[in-house]
Amino acid sequence: MTAVDARPATSTGTRPGTGTGLRFPTGFRWGTATSAYQIEGAATENGRTPSIWDTFSRMPGKVHNGDTGDIAADHLHRMPDDVQLMKELGVTDYRFSVSWSRVQPTGRGPAVERGLDFYRRLVDELLANGIRPVATLYHWDLPQELEDAGGWPERDTAQRFADYADLVARALGDRVPTWTTLNEPWCGAFLGYGNGLHAPGRTSNLAALRAAHHFNLAHGGAARVLRDRLPSTAEISLTLNLHALRPLTDTAADLDAVRRIDAVANRIFMDPVFHGRLPQDLVEDTAGVTDWSFVRDGDLEVTSTPIDSLGINYYSPSVVSAGSSASPAPWAGAEEHVAFTPAAGPRTAMDWPVDANGLYELLTRLRDELPHLPLMVTENGAAYEDYADPAGEVHDPERVEYLDAHLTAVHRAIQDGVDVRGYFLWSLLDNFEWSYGYSKRFGIVHVDFASQRRTVKDSARWYAEVIARGGLARD
């Protein structure tokens, strides 16, 4: 491993000051986040068999440059060093995901102990270094055999997920305090089955809506299993990428376009999970696609099993108006009624607008809708064109600026009464960015994928300062 000096940098111009600063509450959880397929590699080791991302990344033209997660950041072999990196940064929490294909390769039957062993070692290593593990059970990597049996549009996949949750909970339940069932089911359903830009690459509005319901059912079923299996102190959560939506104008037509996207992107998960109902307007909007008869009696009781917190992943907002969108659009038919306008202002390397107010808007909306539910920002971060300079340093001032702005928004939300318990920076390491392959770098630690050398970026040093200070400097 590269020797790491995570001490406060002098080059970022953000040294702790004597000014007042923006202090976060005591006990605030300062984390980093990753996911299994994006960093682990070791795709065929210890009995692991393909997930839908292994298959999809081999389909011509689906992933930039034909990249796959076969090796990724080789984290499976470098895990203790990567944990040391986090320790040196001072993070209090680490959000990782468990690869279903590593633990239960066919998606059925008993666990593969050698697969579970990696996560046992990871959790032990984290705890030994004073870092709290936050485990996500599903970050988009369905075992291929379950996709071959119909995947998320089939109801049985939800039951398979609850059984898998049980296996992982039995193995790690005594040492992992926080559990997240699913990461961003919107992407799994609408990018995976709707417009096909993600694995498994299907393009069917009906399949996407069925998948969304079965994700909700899987979440609720797993939450019940976890509640039974885990100590009473365990925190059970779900992570959604709620869309921060803004109307282009305040005409009734544009407001109605926002309503449609809010239904198919946000309330399709929020309503079943937190209110035990389907959004009636969504059912009406999608009448041409389905009559929703795949939602059976009792399902909405399962989907609304009480949980302890909600994770929000936020990157940028969307500006919506009446109109129509080019296909392939992941909106289950709503694309015939809505248009998206790029928001003004600076962009990241993903071409995503930088706008921290969207995060504040989402957090305050959640405070109003679910006043008693603790929140965590489980992902936030940005890709930029990072490179190691001849001195071996990676200067990423735009990322520091992005992170500072978004943490400022979180701080403002907390001041305004939102119960935000933590912030998980996406991502610890540069990694396999799904259909963009290795071309987009979100890490605060640079990875040279040829040598697997890790280099701490300026943003990591900046984050270490923020954590050490318990907030943002303002001087």
Residues that are catalytic:
184, 379
386 near ligand FCB, rule: CB under 6 A? no
Residue 372 exposed, middle or buried by CB count within 10 Å (0-12, 13-18, 19+) = exposed
237 near ligand FCB, rule: CB under 6 A? no
Helices 156-172 and 113-128, axial angle in degrees (round to 10): 50
Phi/psi for 313 (5° steps) reads: -105, 125
Instruction: Output the smallest distance, CB 204 to ligand FCB, in A.
Output: 21
316 near ligand FCB, rule: CB under 6 A? no
Of 426, 438, 462, 463, which one interacts with ligand FCB (CB under 6 A)? 426
Peptide bond into 427 cis (omega under 30): yes
424 near ligand FCB, rule: CB under 6 A? no
Instruction: Output the smallest distance, CB 12 to ligand FCB, in A.
Output: 23
Shorter beta-carbon distance to ligand FCB: residue 248 or 363 = 363
Please say whether the dihedral angle defined by the alpha carbons of residues 392, 394, 395 and 400, taken in this order, is positive or negative. negative
384 near ligand FCB, rule: CB under 6 A? no
**Contact region with ligand FCB (CB under 6 A), list: 86-94, 197-205, 319-327, 426-434:** 426-434
Shorter beta-carbon distance to ligand FCB: residue 68 or 313 = 313
147 near ligand FCB, rule: CB under 6 A? no
Render the burial of 97-109: b for 16+ CB within 10 Å, e for the rest.
Answer: bbbbbbbbbbbee
Token pair, residue 363, equals: 């957090």
184 near ligand FCB, rule: CB under 6 A? yes
DSSP string, 213-274: HHHHHHHHHHHHHHHHHS-TT-EEEEEE----EEESSSSHHHHHHHHHHIIIIIIHHHIIII
Of 32, 55, 241, 455, which one interacts with ligand FCB (CB under 6 A)? 241
Asked if 403 and 425 touch (Cβ cutoff 8 Å), the reply is yes
Token pair, residue 314, equals: 């936020």
Instruction: Output the smallest distance, CB 429 to ligand FCB, in A.
Output: 12
Of 119, 442, 462, 463, which one interacts with ligand FCB (CB under 6 A)? 442
**Contact region with ligand FCB (CB under 6 A), list: 122-130, 147-155, 182-190, 325-333:** 182-190
66: left (phi over 0), alpha (psi -120 to 50) or beta: left
55 near ligand FCB, rule: CB under 6 A? no
Instruction: Output the smallest distance, CB 144 to ligand FCB, in A.
Output: 19
Residues binding ligand FCB: number (CB under 6 A):
12
**Contact region with ligand FCB (CB under 6 A), list: 1-9, 179-187, 247-255, 457-465:** 179-187
**Contact region with ligand FCB (CB under 6 A), list: 21-29, 180-188, 259-267, 324-332:** 180-188
Spatial separation of the C-alpha atoms in residues 92 and 359, rounded to whole Å: 22
Instruction: Output the smallest distance, CB 2 to ligand FCB, in A.
Output: 24
**Contact region with ligand FCB (CB under 6 A), list: 44-52, 169-177, 183-191, 330-338:** 183-191
Instruction: Output the smallest distance, CB 184 to ligand FCB, in A.
Output: 5
Spatial separation of the C-alpha atoms in residues 299 and 272, rounded to whole Å: 9
Q: Count the alpha carbons within 13 Å of 134 in the hemisphere toward its beta carbon.
A: 31
Of 138, 340, 434, 462, which one interacts with ligand FCB (CB under 6 A)? 434
Spatial separation of the C-alpha atoms in residues 361 and 353, rounded to whole Å: 15
Token pair, residue 36, equals: 């299994």
The helix (H) or strand (E) run that includes residue 343 is none
Instruction: Output the smallest distance, CB 67 to ligand FCB, in A.
Output: 13
Of 14, 32, 35, 237, which one interacts with ligand FCB (CB under 6 A)? 35
379 near ligand FCB, rule: CB under 6 A? yes
Amino acid making up residue 165 = A
183 near ligand FCB, rule: CB under 6 A? yes
Of 40, 141, 433, 458, which one interacts with ligand FCB (CB under 6 A)? 433
Spatial separation of the C-alpha atoms in residues 196 and 121, rounded to whole Å: 35
Report CA 322 to chain centroid distance, whole Å: 29
Instruction: Output the smallest distance, CB 433 to ligand FCB, in A.
Output: 6
Taking Cα atoms as reference points, which of 392, 412, 380 lies closest to residue 455? Answer: 392
Asked if 109 and 163 touch (Cβ cutoff 8 Å), the reply is no
67 near ligand FCB, rule: CB under 6 A? no
Binding site for ligand FCB (CB under 6 A): 35, 38, 183-184, 187, 241, 313, 379, 426, 433-434, 442
